[in-house]
């Protein structure tokens, strides 16, 4: 599945997305979203904003920008933004070609985006998040992992074809394996729900071949 096929997938499912995810959102995801935004502030990027499920959890005073490749999902995010009265800027944008300057954000949040990205798209997406996040800034990634519990693992494998069809997603992306090549440092790897939802906290290292800014003395 190519990156350009994703908008078609989400155009198809956008109208049902929140309804399909409602039980998971209520019983599983809401507490995790709070954790994702804990101690975050300043200029933040919500990469893969979807229908805007993160919007209620944005930190007070933060300037948040949300991007998504799907116009249909963004339309629902805009409705949620208006309903909640939250000042988030929303843009249709490919995470592998972000239209932002280097070091534009103090931090980046990505909830379940990397479950959707194909293996060949993982590193380019990580490199773009690294580029737009200031050196030393925090990037948090929330994604699924295949359980080590035999029963849970079997259930997830049974669900995998449906998840692939409906969302273009997979449970076994293992985004952690691409971090080093993308120039990112893993600070923490923590399961937030059983052993199937994991949070990766990474740091954007300074980019190579960039000359430091020198403050010249004023006569």
> pLDDT value at position 11?
83
Q: From residue 163, how far is each of 17, 97, 115 by CA, in Å?
A: 12, 26, 10
Residue 143 DSSP one-character state? E
pTM confidence score: 0.90
- Given a contact cutoff of 8 angstroms between Cβ atoms, the answer to whether 67 and 4 are in contact is no
pLDDT of residue 10: 87
Q: What is the pLDDT of residue 8?
A: 83
Distance CA 51, CA 49 (A): 6
CATH superfamily of 3-204: Vaccinia Virus protein VP39 (3.40.50.150)
Return averaged pLDDT per consecutive 10 residues of the chain, 219 residues in all: 69 90 92 96 98 97 97 97 97 98 98 97 98 96 98 98 95 97 97 98 73 46
Query: Is residue 46 helix, strand or coil?
Result: strand
d(CA 109, CA 1): 24
**All structural domains of the chain with their residue ranges:** 3-204
CA–CA dist 113, 124 (Å, integer): 13
**Cβ atoms within 10 A of the Cβ of 154, count?**
11
pLDDT of residue 65: 98
Partner residues linked to 109 by β-bridges: 46, 140
Question: Which pLDDT score, from 0 to 100, does residue 190 have?
Answer: 97
């Amino acid at each position: 599945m190519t990156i350009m096929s994703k908008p078609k997938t989400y155009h198809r499912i956008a109208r049902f997305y929140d309804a399909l995810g409602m039980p998971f959102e209520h019983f599983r995801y809401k507490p995790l979203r709070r954790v994702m935004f804990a101690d975050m502030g300043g200029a933040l990027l919500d990469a893969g904003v979807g229908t805007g499920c993160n919007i209620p959890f944005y930190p007070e005073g933060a300037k948040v920008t949300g991007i998504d490749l799907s116009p249909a999902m963004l339309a629902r995010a805009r409705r949620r933004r208006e309903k909640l009265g939250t000042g988030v800027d929303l843009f249709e944008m490919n995470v592998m070609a972000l239209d932002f300057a280097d070091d534009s954000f103090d931090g980046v949040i990505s909830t379940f985006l990397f479950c959707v990205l194909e293996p060949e798209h993982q590193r380019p997406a990580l490199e773009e998040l690294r580029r737009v996040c200031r050196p030393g800034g925090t990037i948090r990634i929330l994604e699924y992992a295949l359980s080590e519990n035999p029963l849970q693992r079997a259930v997830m494998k049974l669900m995998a074809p449906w998840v692939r069809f409906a969302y273009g997603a997979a449970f076994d992306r293992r985004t952690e394996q691409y971090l080093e090549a993308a120039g990112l440092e893993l600070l923490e790897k923590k399961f937030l729900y059983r052993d199937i939802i994991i949070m990766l906290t990474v740091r954007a290292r300074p980019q190579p071949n960039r000359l430091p800014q020198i403050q010249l003395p004023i006569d």
